[in-house]
Amino acid sequence: FPSHDITAWLAKYNVYHSDAIKHHIMWSESRKALIFPIKEKNEIIFYQERKFDGKPKYLTRGVLDNHIPLFPAVQTKNNLGTVIVVEDFISAIRVSSRYDCVPLFGSHLNKKLAVRPSQIYSNLGIWLDKDKANQSIQFQNEYESLFDSAFSIFSDLDPKCYSDNDIADYVMDAEVSIYDT
């Protein structure tokens, strides 16, 4: 990356050079943006730009169509049968430290995106940013019939802001709460 500021921005979310390489994160000098690509057969089919100067902050290019961008969990002992959806690429990297994760590249979970994981996973966790709590509950109610269970995760900070252990705790607390009601 061209500047210490970008490296520091990623590092504040515990995303380092090895993560950038693994997830093909790039810097575009001409766009002055980080590029978060989704590849299929080694070709970029979709990407999101994260700009640091100016509006809009995020620009999305391409169409995912039938491709569901899945970030498999690094540690799998806690995630059996559970997939977590989050808003952004960096949150997906962070949550995938413990759970299989799908970034929405925004905050809309459409039926097509919900149906595909329901064929693989028993449980759906929805962890949107704090300002989207109502939307999270709406998606939970809308798609819980596709899964054995669906639950929303609520936190003061975005998912990307938490440590691996905090991520595991938030998800486990949310999963347990669905059985307490």
Cα maximum dimension of the chain: 52
pLDDT at 175: 84
Q: What is the pLDDT of residues 140-170, one digit of tens each?
A: 999 999 999 999 999 999 999 999 999 999 9
Q: What is the pLDDT of residues 46-98, one digit of tens each?
A: 999 999 887 888 899 888 777 778 888 886 655 568 999 999 999 999 999 99
Check: pTM over 0.85? Answer yes or no: yes
